[in-house]
C-alpha cells in the first residue's frame, strides 16, 4: 500500500474512563485527515500494533508510571511502522521502524525518536513488539537486574505463557536455574512444559494449586517474577527463601479492581515476611534499565537465531478489533503476545 492508497487516518480514541473492566463503549473509532510531517518528521503507516496489559492503567485518570490517555486522545501503543513520507535525512520512504504510533493507521513521528530500523532477515517484524522488543526486554532486564538468578536456584514465573513470562522462564533456564511456570488453563500449562522446557508447569486454576506449587518447589523459591498478584502471589509467599528477589513487573489480577479487597488488613503480615525473610521486592518498568538495551538486542538476536528462545504470537486482524482484544487480554483469553495486524 503506497501513501496514495489512503487519504485519511483511522484511529481509536478513549471515549470514557472505564469503571472496572473496560467495555467496547469506552473506545471510539474515528477518521481524520492524514497528517503532514514537518521538517525533521516522518509520516508513518502503522503495520502492526502491540496490545499490552499496561494499557489498562493508561485508561485511568490517576497517577501511574506514565501519564494517562486523555478522553478523546488516541489510545497509546507500540507499533511496527513503515515510513511513507520523510522529512528526516536519516529515514527514507519504505524504511520499517519500531515506533510508538498508537491505535491508528497513520502517525507522525520525529525522525530522531525512531532509533530502531527493522531488518526482516533477523527476525519476523512482529517480534519487535514481543520477544525481540519491549516485552522481551522487560523480561531480560527485570531478571538480569532484580532477579539475578544463580545456577541451581528456583525461579517461579507468573503468567508464564505470556510474552514477558515465557521469556523470563527460558532465559532463567539458559542460566542454569530450575524454572516453575504458572499459567491459566491446561493448554497454556502444557505449552510451558512441552514447548518451552520449563521444569514444572502449573495451572493456577487447579483446585489444589497451592499444594502443587509447594510440591514443585521442595527447596523453596529464590526468584519470583511477578506479573499477576492475587491468589498466585498468596501461594508463593510462604515458599520464599531468605534473600529471595521479587521483580514486580505487573499485577494484571488487579488492573480492573474498583476498590481494595475486603477482609483483614494484610499489610503487617506482608511487611513482616519482607523483614524476616530479607526479601527484595522491587517494582520496575523496562525503561529503568534502558542502558542494557544494546546488550539485549545482541543476546536475544543470538538466542532467536539459535532457536534457544521460542515465542508464540496471538495475531488479531484489523484495528477495529483492538478494543475487544484488549478486553480479552485482561481476562487472560489470549495465548501468546497479542499483535493487531492493521
CB 87 within 8 A of CB 41: yes
Alpha carbon distance, N-terminus to C-terminus of the chain: 12
- Report pLDDT for 1: 38
- Report pLDDT for 62: 80
pTM (2 d.p.) = 0.92
Q: What is the mean pLDDT of residues 21-40?
A: 96
- pLDDT for 216-267, tens place per residue? 999 999 999 999 889 999 999 999 999 999 999 988 888 888 888 888 999 9
Grid cell of 153 as nine digits: 536456584
d(CA 128, CA 48): 10
Q: Is residue 5 scored above 70 in pLDDT? A: no
Domains of the chain, CATH where assigned:
8-120+311-341 (3.90.180.10), 134-288 (3.40.50.720)
Q: Strand pairing partners for 97?
A: 81, 117
Amino acid at each position: 500500500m503506497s501513501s496514495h492508497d489512503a487519504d485519511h487516518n483511522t484511529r481509536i480514541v478513549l471515549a470514557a474512563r472505564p469503571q472496572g473492566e473496560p467495555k467496547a463503549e469506552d473506545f471510539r473509532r474515528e477518521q481524520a485527515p492524514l497528517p503532514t510531517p514537518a521538517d525533521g518528521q516522518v509520516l508513518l503507516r502503522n503495520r502492526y500494533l502491540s496490545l499490552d496489559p499496561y494499557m489498562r492503567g493508561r485508561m485511568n485518570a490517576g497517577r501511574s508510571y506514565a501519564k494517562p490517555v486523555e478522553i478523546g486522545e488516541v489510545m497509546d501503543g507500540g507499533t511496527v511502522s513503515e515510513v511513507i513520507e520523510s522529512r528526516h535525512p536519516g529515514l527514507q520512504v519504505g524504511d520499517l521502524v519500531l515506533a510508538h504510533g498508537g491505535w491508528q493507521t497513520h502517525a507522525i513521528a520525529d525522525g530522531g525518536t525512531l532509533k530502531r530500523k527493522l531488518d526482516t532477515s533477523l527476525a519476523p517484524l512482529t517480534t519487535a513488539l514481543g520477544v525481540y522488543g519491549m516485552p522481551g526486554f522487560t523480561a531480560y532486564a527485570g531478571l538480569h537486574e532484580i532477579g539475578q538468578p544463580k545456577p541451581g536456584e528456583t525461579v517461579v514465573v507468573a503468567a508464564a505463557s505470556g510474552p514477558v513470562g515465557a521469556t523470563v522462564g527460558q532465559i532463567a533456564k539458559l542460566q542454569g536455574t530450575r524454572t516453575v511456570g504458572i499459567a491459566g488453563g491446561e493448554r497454556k500449562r502444557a505449552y510451558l512444559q512441552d514447548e518451552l522446557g520449563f521444569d514444572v508447569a502449573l495451572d493456577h486454576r487447579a483446585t489444589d494449586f497451592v499444594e502443587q506449587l509447594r510440591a514443585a518447589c521442595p527447596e523453596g523459591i529464590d526468584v519470583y517474577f511477578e506479573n499477576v498478584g492475587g491468589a498466585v502471589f498468596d501461594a508463593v509467599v510462604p515458599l520464599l527463601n531468605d534473600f529471595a528477589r521479587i521483580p514486580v513487573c505487573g499485577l494484571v489480577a488487579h488492573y480492573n479492581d474498583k476498590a481494595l479487597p475486603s477482609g483483614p488488613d494484610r499489610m503487617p503480615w506482608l511487611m513482616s515476611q519482607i523483614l524476616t525473610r530479607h526479601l527484595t521486592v522491587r517494582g520496575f518498568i523496562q525503561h529503568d534499565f534502558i542502558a542494557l538495551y544494546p546488550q539485549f538486542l545482541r543476546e536475544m538476536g543470538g538466542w532467536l537465531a539459535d532457536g534457544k528462545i521460542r515465542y508464540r504470537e496471538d495475531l488479531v486482524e484489523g484495528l477495529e478489533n483492538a478494543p475487544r482484544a484488549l478486553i480479552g487480554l485482561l481476562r487472560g483469553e489470549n495465548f501468546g503476545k497479542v499483535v493487531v495486524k492493521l
